[in-house]
Structure 1
Amino acid sequence: MELSITRRSILQNATAAGALAAAGNTAIQNIANAQPSDGEIYWLLVRRQFIFPESAVPMNCANLCPTFQAVAEKVTALSRIVDYDVSLNNRAQFNDTLKDSRARISAQIGAAPDEVALVRNTSEANSVITNGLDFRAGDEVVVWEQNWPAPIRWPGSNLMHGGLVGHG
């Protein structure tokens, strides 16, 4: 099955992510509903979702990139709930949200829910893959063709020692 994942499709399906679904942010919904013919209006709506100053233009180069303001606010609110009461009973309230989020995302990308790992950002995901997994000869890691290659080729990376990298 050939998947075509674009920035627009990610935004249009952003409700698959539990945090965005819970955020209920009208501006994010406006972005998801914007049409390609809207041109600059679409990108203005996207830009307004971030809190960095108008004079800034973040360029992501496998570093951390800014988060949508609504997502950051929701993460902060949920973190406060856990910080207030770190008990297992309190944290259990998030189990269904996590399960539902994995199911929605896995359906969107054509994977099984147990094959989906939810992490804070791409940098963390790259780090887990390149440094946290014990690869053996014959293992295969598929990365997006536009992914910055340094985490894969970095000297000492576990991928340099037996993992086969393919681009999807």
Structure 2
Amino acid sequence: MTNIADEFPQDPDLLYLNHAAVAPWPRRARDAVTAFAAENLHQGARDYPRWLATEQRLRQQLQALINAPDSADIALLKNTSEGLSVLACGLDWQDGDEVIISNQEFPSNRIPWQAQARHGVTTREVDISMADPEQALIDAMTPRTRVLAISSVQYGSGLRLDLARLGKACRRAGVLFCVDAIQSLGALPFDVQEIQADVVVADGHKWMLGPEGLALFYCQPDLREQLTLFQFGWHMVADAGNYDRHDWEIAADARRFECGSPNLLAVHALSASLSLLLEVGMDSVGDAVLARSTWLDTALRACGRGQVLSPAAPERRAGIVTWRPEEPLDACFTRLRDAGVVCAQRGGGIRLSPHFYTDHTVMERAVALLLG
């Protein structure tokens, strides 16, 4: 039986509600990195093949996390921005093509598309503040739309979208469906086959409880063969271990997007973190995350002060609750930070983001401080 409290021995004066930004590691991730460092110190890379076995295990864990058809569909990239850029820079754009995003996207899911303006591509930001944001995105599609690129959960408001509905609409319209899943992977169950996504990207340092610098990049096989590559090296070729071979071909699987040496330090950490989430089970993790965000939402709406900016409907919630105080925002944030509350200023308010393990006393103390 996993001892969750032992996995997160946080400072008792710390009220950590910032998993939508950078999450604390569980103890087992710390232990994995410590062991990896000690092995490097005493033995160097003597057992490098075993390190690569950990890398393969991570691909399998990520495959399970998103229900991908095969671990060969998973590439390990540096971050979400790199993954989105692989798609944005790899497509064979035609003058007049369009990309649809929302008007609430984090810059990672905006800038790579806007950068394609040099190819005559228009990036259209759709207002999703209405009651049916999916329909607004669907209605925005035209015969020139090549890609719908959307975050599964919006980083500022915490709005959760119906990805299956959007995926179905994209299939019907012949539009590529790209999902920035950084605010849901590790927090809620996710099924790439159910939502029919062509690409899913997410860094591991938020809800997956891992380090910065390592991201999941899923690309369905038919599409990955169509993407032009702009990074090349020894690791992305079919016969990667044959250093004397001068003729080469691109790897058939998702490793084609990994041009050089893997980040094995981060691999060990993220694999350990995912082992905890998969042990607990993503259904249980998701239920716990939603229970905590619902508690925060209810408490803040009931206080009669300020304004909850996150969606009220339960089906629209994920792990983020954003609240606008009556006092100046900067002053409120500074007061909370000085009192030990780790949160963020996002979306015009104070963003709180508990994870499945967050103790209710942490939320209760934070709300008491928030309300002054």
TM bucket, shorter chain: 0.3 to 0.5
Q: Which of the two has greater strand per residue?
A: 2
Higher RCO (CA 8 Å, separation ≥ 6 residues): 2
TM-score, length of structure 1 as denominator length: 0.48
TM-score, length of structure 2 as denominator length: 0.25
